[in-house]
Amino acid sequence: EVQVVESGGGLVLPGGSLRLSCVASGFSFSGYWVTWARQAPGKGLEWVASTNEDGRVKQYVDSVKGRFTISRDNAMNSVFLQMSSLRAEDTAVYYCVSEYKSGHWGQGSLVTVSS
Amino acid sequence: QAVVTQEPSLTVSPGGTVTLTCGFSTGAVTSGHNPYWFQQKPGQAPRTLIYDTTNKYSWTPARFSGSLLGGKGALTLTGAQPEDEADYYCFLLFGAARVFGGGTKLTVL
């Protein structure tokens, strides 16, 4: 069975850090670009970051550049999002999705930034 | 970063046909933007319906199709079903960067 599972979300103080993990099973992440997207409460989807198949190419939305880092470990079939200097406006459900012929989404991980 | 535009809302009758579009603020959407389409129902994670303009997945209902239409990406639903009521998002690639459209709320009524 194909599954994508995100974890690592939670409540964090403004200025704090969190590391999200995304683990795939039933298929290999290694052949695909993987994207992190987020959805604030009641809002649409927003692209956050993407990385290519071997992790050498990384790109970020302007609002998270310098604060978030995407990485991957193909041996562990995993992609990560290290988030630092978190702000209230980063509060959202964070999803990872494999692109192209894969097209699999996780169920999301809620990140709440609040004092 | 680029602004990707979609109709905020559309309504289709059961059994009817509707086309959702995906525009780009400063030019035409082309196959080079590799348009994707996602469906999201309330309380659920999104799921991918279309990739690279026209390609479907094994789980994509046959009544959905993707295309380019008049300089925009397009998702056409032919023979709408009540279960197709959802939010639909397009997604364009700009090299390594990506952008989601604002989403279309589709009502089947």
The DSSP line for A58-76 is EEE-GGGTTTEEEEEEGGG
User: Do B40 and A46 count as a contact with CB atoms less than 8 A apart?
Assistant: no
d(CA B100, CA B3): 8
Contact B48 A106 (CB under 8 A): no
Residue B26's pLDDT is 87
Q: What is the pLDDT along chain A (115 residues), one digit of tens a residue?
A: 899 999 999 999 999 999 999 999 999 989 999 999 999 999 999 999 999 999 999 999 999 999 999 999 999 999 999 999 999 999 999 999 999 888 999 999 999 999 9
Q: Which of A99-103, B1-5, B99-103 has the highest mean pLDDT?
A: B99-103
- The size of the A-B interface in CB pairs under 8 A is 55
Q: Which residue has the tokens 């959805």?
A: A39
Q: Does B48 contact A103 at a Cβ distance shorter than 8 Å?
A: yes
Q: Kindly report, residue by residue over B36-82, the tens digit of the pLDDT.
A: 999 999 999 999 999 999 999 999 999 999 999 999 999 999 999 99
**Residue B2: what pLDDT?**
85
| Nearest chain A CA: its distance from B65 CA (Å) | 16
Q: Please check whether residue A105 is in contact with residue A93, taking contact to mean a CB–CB distance below 8 angstroms.
A: no
**Sole residue written with tokens 């059961």:** B14
pLDDT in the model for residue B25: 85
Q: Say whether A97 and B46 touch across the interface (CB within 8 A).
A: yes
Confidence at residue A35, expressed as pLDDT on a 0 to 100 scale: 98
Please choose, from the candidates B10, B80, B87, the residue with its C-alpha nearest in 3D space to the C-alpha of residue B46.
B87
Average pLDDT in chain B: 97
- Would you say residue B34 has pLDDT above 80? yes
